[in-house]
Structure 1
């Protein structure tokens, strides 16, 4: 039911050694058509990430050393100081990937659920996460685009996945119907209990490939306890 990072990550990773030159990094970003790459030590362990923003810091900040009085906008200064890109002032002095990179890198593991990887990207404001093994060695990379792939699964595959998941719902169901259109699932049928119907919908919604679940289920017995409404008086 849960899609993990290993299912969607890219294993052909563009990466550089910490001693790689500015020119080497720039050339790799352009040739591979990526906006950032992991930076590795000699044992293939991830030390950080170097991005286009890290390289542009050199061009953006270098003019202040020539006395033209350039000062980046406040928003840019805040981003460079406390944001995910690190300090642009010091990156402008960098000559190697190790000096240019943002470190430590935010990483994930192959067996992590994609939803957790997505939350980590959102939390740290990054577009990609290097994927590392138990020793911290690079095994892949996962991007926002990779995470979106889970919603591109064929409708027939989603239907099979939903039907398999619903086998874990307790009780009996008659005339269970599962239809999928563009990853939107519609459930029909009659359960013995209202609570079992609710469980079926919730279980369907939890499947990573499902965009939404439409509940058209019915039930024989309403076992949902409704608390009495407390009316206040003057």
Structure 2
């Protein structure tokens, strides 16, 4: 399916603001405000990602500013309390960083974000050097693809390959990302395969499959 932007490299942001391990708390806040981001990667001198500082890493300083947590809270939130007293990026960052490679599929990136509870991922090369960043919003860009663009890809990459000689021409309609397949085919065992392949096309919201065998389904009595 060559028409789909399958990989992270197709949608990631290449220009990324980053900080060094010695960056100070206030400077980090100013960088986030200036660039309107909620997290920044922390880099070694050669550009290798060693961690990420997010808003969640910064908030404990405000949360525990005037509080005196009890012993139970101290044990339960030891990491947050340490960050409340942190001054530099090295003390604040979550490490090792949760990253992704530019060749990863969008589905893989989305799965990592969901499992690790993060909103964006630094994109790194094989040496761990920063290439870009991908956010939840970047992954959703595929749903902006035009309906006719989706229909053309499905006709070319799914219908033409699975059903080269249908009983009757197969109609592919797409409206607001929802795909409807209509027609008759010789091998109905391929219908579930077609539905699965169409659903895997980047930008498809849902699939309605009305593909039947050579004989139309009988009307209920």
CA change 1:182–1:71 in 2 (3 A) is farther
Q: Is the 8 A contact 1:16 1:38 kept in 2?
A: yes
**Structure-2 separation of matches of 1:27 and 1:72:** 33
| Cα deviations by residue, 1:172-215 (Å, 9 ceiling, x for unpaired) | 22311111101100001211111122322221111121111111
CA change 1:177–1:7 in 2 (3 A) is same
Q: Which residue of 2 aligns with 1:59?
A: 62
**Structure-2 separation of matches of 1:179 and 1:212:** 12
- Any unmatched runs of 5+ in structure 2? 216-221
Figure out how many residues of one structure are paired with residues of the other and give that number: 211
Q: Is the 8 A contact 1:171 1:196 kept in 2?
A: no
TM-score by length of 2: 0.88
1:162 aligned residue (132, 141, 154) = 154
1:35 paired to 2:47: no
- Any unmatched runs of 5+ in structure 1? 82-86, 222-234
Q: Which residue of 2 aligns with 1:230?
A: none
Q: Is the 8 A contact 1:185 1:210 kept in 2?
A: yes
| Cα deviations by residue, 1:124-158 (Å, 9 ceiling, x for unpaired) | 11111110001100011111111111111111111
The runs of at least 4 consecutive aligned structure 1 residues that moved more than 6 Å come to none
Q: Which residue of 1 aligns with 2:29?
A: 26
Alignment of 1:25-174 (within 5 A): 25-64=28-67, 69-70=68-69, 80=77, 87-166=79-158, 167-169=160-162, 172-173=165-166, 174=168
1:210 paired to 2:210: no
Please tell me the root mean square deviation across aligned C-alpha atoms, in Å: 2.3
Q: Is the 8 A contact 1:49 1:101 kept in 2?
A: yes
Q: Is the 8 A contact 2:120 2:136 kept in 1?
A: yes
